[in-house]
Structure 1
Amino acid sequence: MINCIAIDDEPLALKQIESYISKFADLNLLGSFTNAIKALAFLNREKVDLMFADINMPDLSGMEFVRSLENPPKVIFTTAYREFAAEGFEIDAADYLVKPISFAAFSKSVDKTLSRYFNKNNQTVDVQVKKQFLFIKTEYKIVRINLNDIKYIEGMRDYIRVHLANEKPIMTLMNMGKIMEYLPADKFMRVHRSYIVNLDKIHTIERNRIIFNGNVYIPVSNQYKDDFQKFLDTHFLK
């Protein structure tokens, strides 16, 4: 069981988060607070694994609150202002949700956070350990692929085609969901049911399409658009 708290100075918003949390068997809501000062006193007494915190609160904002903690829990920020996203990720937020928050968006954020930061025993995992390469079986051979060389991965039913920076593509028997398990989440993102992109290789975006080599257009589908927009928000100069 993952112990969590919720913080929001708006009573209706707080009630909504409480209701959403109650629908998850893995989440145990220890307390709800209308300001960060009360939450701080609670954190000094209790072990909390995850908190949902509003950013724009009086006296002490959600950002200031998290920065003040020596060993903060994982945090999912909630906010009515998308422009706070970049600052949220700078302090290692697990995710952020823009109000009004639908249950679908909340559920997706929680599922992503639990799978990334907590193992099956609900213990925090170290996400700093990153793979640098993979071995892939192709054409009766096993070849090593450096992750930095991958531009994007194309799904083709039961096969994937790995497109590399300076070599010809490599095809192997594997589905998109399986290969995602081996890729670091901070470097690779699924943007379409048929495409995974290396975020470090993105140079041009046009009309919800990522352009590689000037003539390869990778569509960003509606299913993955919100996650991709969050990535852009954290790197966009304003």
Structure 2
Amino acid sequence: MIKVLAIDDEPLALQQLVTYINKVPFLELTGQCHSALEAQKLMEEEMVDAIFCDINMPDLSGMDFARQLAAPPFIVFTTAYSEYAVEGYKVNAVDYLLKPFGMNDFLRAALKVQEQYNLRHQETPQKQSSPVQADGTIFVKTDYRVVRIAISDIRYIEGMSEYLKIHLDNQKPIITLLSMKKMEDYLPPTLFMRIHRSYIVNLQKIQEVNKNRVILDADTYLPIGDLYKDRFNEYLEQKFLGK
């Protein structure tokens, strides 16, 4: 999770930021501040990965606040004044949101933050050996057993809080204690894709894509989440024939 701080001296604008942050699954709100001075004190006590910060604030502007940070987090500026855009990028802001902005604009900025965050933390477990065996199977803990399943039999994976339900061809689903992120990292990206905060799908099992959902069979429809739509559409564009 990316720890985020929201800063804006206008109460309604701050509440909007907080609402948007809470809707993005990979962001975690660590605090909300009505001034840069308040944010300074909070950042002395809390570790923050990114800030969404208004520029035009009393006492200390968001721009001056960003300039004085010795080890600045990822910064997204929010302001009603477009003339600040160039100046914002001079302090290495990840993005710039011009008020009033909606959820889609906020999501685009959040995804840029996530991209930069992932680049900075590339020494993550992706370098570890894959749990997928040479024969294309994986071992999964369920109840008090460890079972072997073929990844080709996996239709889709459903997130249920701390657990996953692995839906299989012609078998009962298997429930295991594992995060969606870990399962996503384990599975081959050429065969599986996360299309929603709660679903990873076997791309070879998709029979149809209709609006904002994928269809695996007459009874199984999975939604495509807004955060994952662009990546999934890019995959489709590479695969289908015609225009």
Normalised to the residue count of structure 1, the TM-score between the two structures is 0.49
Normalised to the residue count of structure 2, the TM-score between the two structures is 0.48
Question: For the pair shown, which has the larger CA radius of gyration, 1 or 2?
Answer: 2
